Chain A
Amino acid sequence: MTERELNERLRQAVENAAPDDLEAILSRCGNGKGTVIEMKKTSSASSGRKRRYMGLVAACLALVLVAGGGGLFYQQAYAVASVISLDVNPSIELTVNKSEKVLSCTGLNEEGRTVLADMGGGSDLKGAKLDVAVNAIVGALVRSGYLDDLDSAILISVEDSDADRGARLQQELVASVDGVLQGASNQTAVLSQSVTANKALDDQAKQNNISTGKAYLVERVLAVNGSLSFDALAGLSVEELRDLLTTGAPAMPIGKDAALQAALAYAGLGEGDYSWAEVDPELDEATPYYEVELIVNGQETDYGVHAYTGEVIQGANVSAMNPGPALPQGSTPAVTQADAEAIAMAHAGVQDVPAVTKQDYDDGALRWDVEFRADGYEYEYEIDAATGAILSSQKEAEPVPVTPNVPAAQQPAQSGGSTASSSSGDIGADAAKTAALAHAGVDASQASRMKCEQDYDDGRLEYEIEFAAGGYEYEYTIDAGSGAVLDHERDRDD
């Protein structure tokens, strides 16, 4: 196939796949010159969300039918309103009643029981509100070192015969866990799913000492590659299962234990020869591997073990006291946060403006994501944490904030401006700000640098709100229709 033919095939494929949304777009664009923003929900604009929902429903139905459950909700047999599971490698399951009080909390595997040891094996959490119990468990997972790695993942699964309540619980738990992890400056990915369980899947989960939620995730991997074994997959961590899904599950990974053994064999070491070992899966890299970190006589060495062949692809013999080639590590970067901000601001030609800077991992390399505002522009930079090189930069004019000072003639007729809520389903900017402040527990008089913008996402009108208070910077996404907190973030305001 020539280059031209290949390009033409791709072009044709995208041309055919691109949806025709002209009507929806025109309905969002007013009749005047380009200043009017249609804020009403359009059926086409919300089609993506609807499709996703329908897809999930179809998938759930399919799973139930395949398993022969014929729509039986297994958990109805118990007088429990919802079953929530938390999986990292420890698997923990909670049952709650309609008032969202914990009825039981159980460690499903050995690691889960160890995490709950300080909480009476889970019995201390009985009677607690679900969000309190989940926060306590996530806190224990962080303290136990299960969520230390930058690529860690926690899976929250909600099983509820009442789909609306299940969806709400899922959303609240994700926000709550996210809040705990942010407070601990932790970068773990928070995955969530709604689960429609059935007896067969539940039995399979029990046999493997995992939650029904994790069993559901295993089923998804099996749907991608049916040649893999349920039992073997059940032994993998959520992070490994997620990576398998994103990479098409090409084969069964060797697992962390086998990777450790491969590294030890390569280094000529036995079980008692090292003081510390940690194995981190990197299955979504171009060459999938396990990173094995060994400390021997105070010397740290990293090894890369191919995830599917078990071959040591990167490493060094410990006896040579020669650290292996650079592998992604969570260690202190050569370029500090202050350096990264200085590099970005020098490039932008601005000086000493407040910046929001986060560490991030991409393609196996550590980098700094630096964001700041100056002179009416928003700047975003990605700085290589090893070399200080600017990997990407973006400069965008700040959106015009929704303020009462904008002349009426320039305000969109349908949006109602900042305080009005003339259009149906828009609580107005002031109410949105109040909702965000209330959620953050911040009094309006204490908040500074308040910014409020309307946004249109997934066919839904939202308010994006930012403010600073008490040494923190807050970011909120508020549903304009209900005032619900859809997303929130709190960062140190340095």
Chain B
Amino acid sequence: MTAITAVGAYTPRFRISAAAFEEAWGHFRAAGISEKAVPAADEDALTMGSEAATRALEAVELEGTDVDWLAFATSTPPVAEADLTARLGAMLAVSESATRHVFTGSTRAGTRAIWAGMDAIEAGSGATALVVTADAPIGHPDSELDHAAGAGAAALVLEPDGPAHITDRAEFAHPYPGTRFRNTGDDEKQGLGVTQYDRRAFTQTIGGAVAELEHERDPDVAVVQAPDGKLPYRAAGAAGVDTDAIRAAATVHELGDLGAASVPASLAAALAAGTKSILAVSYGSGAGADAFALETAGDVPARIDLDGDATLSYAEYLRQRGVVTTGPPSGGGAYVSVPSWQRSIPQRYRLEAGRCPDCGALSFPPAGACDGCGTLDAAEPVELAGTGTVEAVTTISHGGAPPEFAPHQSRSGDYAAAIVALDAATDDRDRDGDGNRNENADANTNADTATPRTVSVPAMGTDAAPDAFAVGDRVETTIRRIYTQEGVTRYGFKIRPQMP
């Protein structure tokens, strides 16, 4: 048996309404969607997946190092070739020897990852599996597909036993060429739009998968793949559920099409809501479907953040998505090579600082002579807490950004750039100058040992307007796209206002 032992879900903070599309286009082509989530300029499937995975692990108080099987599923990977699980695993501190898989190629990828995770658990080859699903579909701006396209991510922790058991599963496939597809080399998905044919692909494969389940079901809710806000309900009959059961778990009306994260995100939300029995059915064009039956016997630890906090106009939507902006200017001068960036990944992803073996001072990045005592002895690696306090901050306006960041500024607008005093990790704070844990150290003052509790780092602001950052404000770190050069996107931490 396989159980879901924790779930996390994340959507970007931006929302755009159907009305904004109607104003721009004269119509809105995505039926049944009133509002949808939009990724920020510095987000993609990898960063959203990292956000959701971090939440799932936090919910059940697991560390990345506890994970021995990792899957990443998306129909919109930021690169077509290159194993993104290496970077995702490093962001989450998953062991370098953990099993890793990438699932892509259709919106069914998310449930294929769950399927493979179950196989690993049931074969005994994994004890703690982390399934990370994320998507941000892109279509031609006036297509139904783009109007429906949302953005979000969900992560599930699978273990042999836990509060939510997956009691049954089945799959089904039947060839339907010309349903939603993305040709090699293209960024935009497309479909022929043969309405009845598309619907038949959807209902036939979903019906086929559900029919293969061993037992008759009468679930409290039915989580059904949602390419738009109407199609799931057309599959009610095929799935043997009523439309109210589908509506109870639907996220598409407020978030849009979440692609490979559609079923996992709605499933996570349903589990977080304490639902007892769930039927979950995905659909991937081409076409195929996966069906799962779940029964819960207790609360599933969950951290679900599916609310937005900023509404975009259609013009802002085009800017954030980079539809109407240009690429980086040509130039020269300052340059950070990919190998030198790669060497800094422990700092960029995991905030790995150094603690001086002689005087206990923190350093970031941990290289060179100690700031505190000048020793050239190598610092001991220590991870920072991911929270901190703004020490100095500016809002970069037009003319103030390095050229590498011109495309980002063009898309996101003005941004905050700060120096932040990042906190030492809690278990590293009460140490004396020799790095030994100081059992009696006062939790607040630490005056006896004078061990520095913060280290200053420069960081860009995200997830909030630039004027939301002021000297003295508390912030937390999160991983985002920093910039892209030579075709390689460099990911690293940014800061955002600390969440309560």
Q: Is this pair of chains taken from one and the same complex?
A: no
List residues of A whose CB falls within 8 A of some B CB.
none
